[in-house]
Every structure is written in C-alpha cells, then in structure tokens.
C-alpha cells in the first residue's frame, strides 16, 4: 500500500460520488515469496468484470519480440558494448488511467469517512495489476548522437540498454532512474563478443509448478513411443488435466522459442494435441520436463 500511495495510484472517494451505472470493481491481495527471502504483497483488481469497448479500449503490454532482445544483445556483443539490465519497480503503477475506474479496498483494508462513517472506495488515477487496460508502447528505441547510438529494448518491466558511448549510456540510464523507480541489475556478463543466455531459473520454476522437481531425468526430449491422435475415448483428458496440459505446453513452447531450441521438435509434435489431448500426450509432455530436470542449463550463445 505504501508503494500505491507513493505513486499516487488512487484517491479516496465516497461511493455516493460514483456515477450511476459505473462498476465498482472488487480487489484482493496477492502474496508471494521472493527469491531473496522477502515477502511481497500486491493489490489486484478483478478486471475480469470489465467489458471491452465500455470499460477499456485497446490494451496490450509492451512485450517485445524475442528476436528484438537477441538483436540488441548481438549488436552489443559485436561492438563490445556493455549491456545493462534495468527493472522497473511497480511498472504498471506508472501508467495513467485513461478512463474513470472505481475499486473497493481489499478485504481487511477497508476505510471509512471519519465524519460520516461511510465506507470509502478508491478512484484509480493510475493503472493497477489486474486491470484490462495498460499503456501501449513501442518496445525498441534507438537514440542517435552524431555517429553514436544507444539502443533500449523494453519487455514489460525489464529493460536492456546498450550503446557505443559509456557516458551517453550512463546519462540515459540516469534519465530513466530519475523519472521512474528502477532497480539497476548491472551489466550482463559476456566475454570476447559472446553472451550466454541461460534460463535455468525459468526451468526450475517450471519443474516446481508441475511437481516435477524430483522426477527422474532422461537424456532426450523426445518420448520415443508413437503418439497417435487416434486414441480410445477413455484416454481423453478431463477438463482439469486438459487445462494443465495446455498450460504446460505454453510454458515449454516459450522456453523453446527463447533459448532451448533442443525442445523444438518435441514441442511441435505435442502442440498438435492441445485442443484434445489424451493420456499419452500428458506422459510425453512430462517426459520433456524430465529431460529439463536433467538438462536445466543449456544456453543459447
């Protein structure tokens, strides 16, 4: 809540001031344990109740293509430029709301008007996690000064910045950190024009998410047995397992597109069954996770 107040995310207003017909969205608190042992709480809006075209317009997060990240890193490596990473603290809290949005305080945090005892609601001035609308922005920026360039690549709340002049790069970093609350993650490690891009943390998170962190590892991503789409009716996965399979395939597909090209063929075959997966597909998908269990650190260089 201190972070919300710091960014002036909301104003306290009485429910009687909310225009007739305007929704007052519910909120809830989400809790998470950070890798460094800190505990984090986040206020989330029930944006699923918003209607497109009525409560918000076009919306998407500034998520750049994987190739843009690779090209930025490749240019930095080729020219032996330092590559820095910045993380925007409370990224969504910097975006102004383009329409009036009213939300109720999360359970346990409700406020009352001290004079009348009337419950207070929040009128949002800035975006909050869970809202359907976010600011739409380009993702790759190039700043030129004479024959010197600085490249800045934005992926939601992570930023890569590199350039041909250290003083100019430092200046642009300072301009960003002066304007927004950011964490400087430092320089990306690379040597002699090569940069390794591991996703070990993502792999470990994936294994934990699907309960495969203690699975027996295998040496190849392919299942080996023939996977036919013509399976007995009793082998078709139920709604819950079907959703798990689709989520699993989306997570593995993202990994294959980013850095783990060794998964490409297995993912291609298993993705064909996403609309109607059967038990053998789930077994094969878990086989891929078992392969990742034994090979968590194969990096793209």
pLDDT of residue 134: 45
For the chain, 301 residues long, give each residue's pLDDT as a single digit of tens.
666 766 667 767 777 777 777 777 777 777 776 656 667 677 777 766 666 656 555 555 567 778 888 888 888 888 888 888 888 766 556 666 667 777 777 776 666 666 666 777 877 777 666 666 544 446 888 898 888 999 998 887 788 899 989 999 999 999 988 888 888 888 876 554 566 777 888 899 999 999 999 999 999 998 865 565 566 666 888 999 999 999 999 999 989 988 888 999 999 989 988 988 999 999 999 999 999 999 988 766 5
| C-alpha pair distances (Å), 106 with each of 2, 18, 49 | 14, 18, 16
User: Do the Cβ atoms of 284 and 270 come closer than 8 Å?
Assistant: yes
Distance CA 274, CA 247 (A): 9
Nearest to 278 by CA among 249, 253, 241, 252: 241
20 token code pair: 């007739």
User: Do the Cβ atoms of 203 and 288 come closer than 8 Å?
Assistant: no
pTM of structure: 0.56
User: Do the Cβ atoms of 4 and 43 come closer than 8 Å?
Assistant: yes
Query: What sign results for the dihedral spanned by CA atoms 70, 76, 80, 84?
Result: negative
């Amino acid at each position: 809540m201190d972070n919300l107040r710091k960014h002036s995310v909301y104003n306290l207003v009485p429910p009687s001031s909310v225009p007739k017909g305007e929704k007052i969205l519910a909120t809830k608190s989400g809790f998470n344990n950070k890798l460094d042992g800190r505990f984090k709480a986040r206020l989330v809006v029930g944006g699923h109740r918003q209607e497109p075209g009525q409560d918000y317009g076009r919306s998407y997060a500034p998520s750049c293509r994987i190739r843009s990240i690779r090209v930025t890193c490749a240019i930095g490596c080729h020219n032996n430029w330092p590559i820095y990473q910045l993380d925007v603290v409370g990224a969504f809290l910097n975006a102004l709301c383009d329409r009036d949005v009213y939300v109720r305080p999360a359970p346990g945090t409700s406020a009352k008007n001290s004079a009348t005892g009337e419950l207070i609601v929040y009128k949002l001035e800035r975006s909050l996690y869970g809202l359907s609308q976010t600011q739409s922005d380009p993702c790759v920026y190039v700043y030129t000064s004479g024959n010197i360039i600085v490249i800045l690549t934005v992926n939601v709340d992570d930023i890569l910045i590199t350039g041909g002049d250290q003083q100019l790069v430092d200046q642009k970093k300072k301009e960003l950190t002066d304007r927004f609350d950011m964490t400087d993650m430092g320089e990306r490690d690379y040597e002699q024009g090569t940069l390794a891009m591991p996703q070990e943390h993502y792999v470990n998170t994936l294994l934990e998410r699907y309960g495969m962190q203690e699975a027996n590892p295998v040496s190849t991503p392919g299942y080996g047995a023939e996977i036919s789409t013509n399976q007995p009716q009793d082998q078709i996965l139920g709604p819950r397992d079907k959703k798990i399979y689709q989520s699993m395939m989306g997570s593995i597909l993202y990994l294959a597109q980013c850095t783990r090209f060794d998964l490409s063929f297995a993912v291609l075959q298993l993705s064909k069954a996403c609309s109607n997966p059967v038990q053998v597909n789930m077994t094969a998908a878990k086989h891929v996770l078992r392969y990742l269990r034994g090979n968590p650190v194969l990096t793209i260089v």
